[in-house]
Amino acid sequence: MNILGLAAIFIAASIIGYKLISKVPSLLHTPLMSGMNALSGVTVAGALVATTLAVSLHSQLLGVIAIVLAMINVAGGFLVTHRMLKMFKGK
């Protein structure tokens, strides 16, 4: 697949993802965020495998960047979920 095809998939996924997330009621955000954290863990695993199988230095560097960004996403998601769940606990 060429770079234009990959760019088209990225743009389509971004638009569809934004449209889907914007229609979710605020009451469902916390459970959905917990589920998305689990999916982000799969992204980390995929980035690890892709980086391990990379042959060129350029591909390995991109893999490391993907791992770092996915881990930031996982950690941030858990922190936000934890903070939101604390709001529902009594004092």
Write out pLDDT tens, residues 20-41: 877 877 667 667 776 777 778 8
Distances (CA, A) of 39 to 1, 32, 89: 25, 11, 26
Check residue 15 and give its pLDDT.
92
**Domain region containing 33:** 26-87
Asked, for residue 9, whether it belongs to a domain, the answer is: no
Q: What is the CA radius of gyration of the chain?
A: 17
Name 80's Cβ contacts closer than 8 Å, sequence gap at least 6: 33
Residue type, 53: L
Instruction: Give the burial class of 40: count Cβ atoms within 10 A of its Cβ; 0-12 exposed, 13-18 middle, 19 or more buried.
Output: buried
Asked, for residue 73, whether it belongs to a domain, the answer is: yes
Cα–Cα distance, 69 to 57 (Å, whole number): 18
Check residue 60 and give its pLDDT.
92
Check residue 1 and give its pLDDT.
66
Place of tokens 């881990």: 71
Check residue 87 and give its pLDDT.
78
Q: Looking at the predicted structure, is the pLDDT value of residue 55 above 80?
A: yes
Asked, for residue 43, whether it belongs to a domain, the answer is: yes
Asked, for residue 12, whether it belongs to a domain, the answer is: no
